Amino acid sequence: MKQVQDDVWETETESPFPGLTTHAYLLTRADGNVLFYNTGHRHEIERMAELGGVAYQFLSHRDELGDTINLLHERFGTRLGGHVREQAEFARVRTPEILFDAREMLLGNIEVIPTPGHTPGSTCFLVHAPGGRRYLFTGDTLYLGEDGTWRPGLLPFSDRDTLVESLETLRTLEPDVVFSSAFGGETGFQEIRGRWSDHVAKALGSLPSGPQR
């Protein structure tokens, strides 16, 4: 793991599927660390132990499920969070203790923002860090492309119209740093320069017209 913010650590790069590159991110907190997304690197769990363990693991959508979720629970008693619309998929690995359904604040400073479209239960998280910075974890709803631009996570199984609505919601936020799960290029996060709304508007403009389900 490497430190990428004062309170955020990034796991090693991995490719769970051909053509897919991902990171997970550990947010260190006095009240219990939170792991966003998931990693298949078992040795990273040992590094997480050195950083205080993992009290909570929040998944942005079903594609992040994997065996290490159970390892984290066995090692740290990690409580799993996932969207209610994907709890059947989650239950094949482990039933979440925390179910997301509507926009809400959890753990005092983590805003849960359901953003369906990429998958029915896709969820983003806006962290209001103690130092005043805002971290946005977008999962695959928006991902960082090879050229450093943000792209919508529209795949053949996605719902285009619903994704558009979710991107419009993300467009209203003002994050300082944005972390995607999947990414192209060399990094999965970006310090935002200029207006975040312009980045999202560009992503919206890249969407093909017409419904896609």
Do the domain assignments include residue 157?
yes
Do the domain assignments include residue 135?
yes
Do the domain assignments include residue 46?
yes
Read off the pLDDT band of 187 (50, 70, 90).
Answer: confident
Do the domain assignments include residue 213?
no
Q: How many domains does the chain have?
A: 1
Read off the pLDDT band of 145 (50, 70, 90).
Answer: confident
Question: Residue written as tokens 């690197």?
Answer: 41
Answer positive or negative: Cα dihedral of 201, 11, 25, 161. Answer: positive
Do the domain assignments include residue 210?
no
CATH code, domain with 55:
3.60.15.10
Do the domain assignments include residue 24?
yes
User: 18 vs 195, which has greater pLDDT?
Assistant: 195
Give pLDDT tens digits for 82-122: 999 999 999 999 999 999 999 999 999 999 999 999 999 99
Q: Which residues pair with 123 in a beta bridge?
A: 114
- Given this model, what pLDDT does residue 213 score? 40
Q: What angle do CA 4, 113, 177 make, to 5 degrees?
A: 25
Do the domain assignments include residue 200?
yes
Q: Whole domain around residue 97: which residue ranges?
A: 2-205
- Given this model, what pLDDT does residue 67 score? 94
